[in-house]
Amino acid sequence: MPVPQHIQTISPRVLIIDNAVRRLMFKPSIPWKEHLDGAETTAVNIPSGAAIPPPSEFTHLILTGSEASIVSPEPWFEREAQLIWAAAEAGIRIIGSCFGHQMLVYALSGSEYVRHADPPEVGWAEIEMVESDPLFDGLPNPWRTFVYHFDAVVDPPPPWRKLGRTELCNTHVIRYGDLPIWGIQAHPEISARGAKRFLSLTLLFGRWPARRIIPALWKTPTLDDIVDPLLQRFLGDGATNRP
């Protein structure tokens, strides 16, 4: 059946919200862009005060990690929260990673559901998927990845669903009901080499206690490459026919 003229296929247009505060050390949009090769991407750094384009110009939204903490609010948090609300209402598909994962909960449910992690996770972890979801079904379970977080989502209210967990954190993968909104506490976008470079820079700049970083640097990680198939599903389902 021919597609009516008033319907046209929309190719993925991805807005990456780069939440880096110290941009010389931390460039979280770069690995995401590398895995989105071929897709039309735009990166915007909200902490620096950059203008946010209208969400209607995009089909997908990715929220990156940050050195900032939801537990210690910054003025720019509300700008990002408003973007998330607008994107969610427009049906835009969203993934938040690490700080972006926590920001999703902050924006859609409230800051009280993000607290300091006890204990934090630094280094390498296995994430066990405990509920089926089309974004993750058929991928390794558990899957091994890089983790680096000192805050965590705690007991998010409905309609949040807990999809994946580690030994230390039971909200590593969450979804906002059946809407196309996922939070991932880990960093599946970062390679083992990239993770070790990040840890080395973090140690050099004295950002966090060395006792948490050095053990991770000494380990030889084995990571599962889930980010490419995950993003293919994330983008593929969103490249739909729209009026």
pLDDT of residue 138: 96
Going through the chain in order, the beta strands assigned E by DSSP cover 8-9, 13-18, 40-45, 60-63, 93-97, 114-129, 143-153, 160-165, 173-176, 181-184, 241-242
pLDDT of residue 216: 84
Domain for residue 205, yes or no? yes
pLDDT of residue 237: 61
Mean pLDDT per 10-residue section of the chain, whose length is 243 residues? 43 96 84 92 97 96 97 97 98 98 99 96 96 97 96 98 98 98 98 91 75 83 92 75 32
Helices 210-218 and 192-204 cross at an angle (nearest 10°) of: 150
Domain for residue 3, yes or no? no
Domain for residue 2, yes or no? no
pLDDT of residue 126: 97
User: Residue 14 is part of a domain; what is its CATH number?
Assistant: 3.40.50.880
pLDDT of residue 165: 98
Domain for residue 171, yes or no? yes
pLDDT of residue 212: 80
* pTM, to two decimals: 0.91
User: What is the tally of structural domains in the chain?
Assistant: 1
Domain for residue 48, yes or no? yes
pLDDT of residue 207: 62
Structural domain boundaries enclosing 124: 8-242
Answer for the pair 180, 162: CB distance below 8 angstroms, yes or no: no
Domain for residue 1, yes or no? no
Catalytic residue numbers?
98, 187, 189
pLDDT of residue 11: 87
pLDDT of residue 208: 62
Domain for residue 18, yes or no? yes
